[in-house]
Amino acid sequence: MRHQRAGKKLGRDAAHRKALYSNLTGALIEHGRIKTTVTKAKAVKPVAEQMITLARRGDLHARRQAVAFLRSKDVVHKLFEEVGPRFKDRPGGYSRIVKIGPRPGDAAEMAYLELVDAEVVVSPRRERPVAVPAAAAAVPGAAAEEPPPTEEELVEDPGEPDETVVADGEPSAEDEAEPTGEAEAAPPDEQPKA
């Protein structure tokens, strides 16, 4: 029986689990937000908040306890110099879990574990390359000569229509005054027969 045995095993032995918690907590302190599974996030959140509570205390013993768990002096330095003072007036609840949906490979439920007041800098997404049509890909010279039209070129200014049509379907008086020259303008295959 597992009476009084709190926490998830996560399919790891005790040493592996402790290393996982240490690494995820260090990454959270360093980056402000990490992407992991919901189960791991729920397991790491209390540990991360305990480390932030140590940083709020700020004494030498708290720093040594943090170094013993996190095993990185750089992360502990950032924890005590930046993260701890930021949460000095907050009595708890330093992190949150934001669910982001299933992972494509195995459908594991994913989440962001992030610090509440974290200033997360999200890098802009890279633009996808424009797909080249199959006909243009077959002829390399054709794609280089004529670039695809831009959005401004695709949107045409309607301006004024060529013919204004009145209710009965006949052209207005302005259009009748101008010679249309239909026989001259029509292509040879569509010329009217006399």
Show me where the domains of the chain are located: 14-115
Bridge partners of residue 34, in order along the sequence: 113
pLDDT of residue 130: 73
pLDDT of residue 131: 73
Can you tell me the distance from the alpha carbon of 149 to that of 129, in angstroms, rounded to the nearest whole number? 15
Chain centre to alpha carbon of residue 13:
34
SS3 call for 115: strand
pLDDT tens, position by position, for the chain (194 residues)? 989 888 899 999 999 999 999 999 999 999 999 999 999 999 999 999 999 999 999 999 999 999 999 999 999 999 999 999 999 999 999 999 999 999 999 999 999 999 998 555 566 777 777 776 666 556 555 555 666 666 666 665 555 555 555 555 555 555 555 555 555 555 556 666 65
pLDDT of residue 6: 85
pLDDT of residue 185: 57
Backbone angles phi, psi at 10, to 5 degrees: 60, 25
- Environment class of residue 31 by beta-carbon count within 10 Å: exposed (0-12), middle (13-18) or buried (19+)? middle
pLDDT of residue 178: 57
* Token couple for 108: 């594991």
Can you tell me the distance from the alpha carbon of 113 to that of 40, in angstroms, rounded to the nearest whole number? 9
Architecture, CATH, for domain 14-115: Alpha-Beta Complex (3.90)
* Token couple for 39: 């189960």
Can you tell me the distance from the alpha carbon of 73 to that of 29, in angstroms, rounded to the nearest whole number? 12
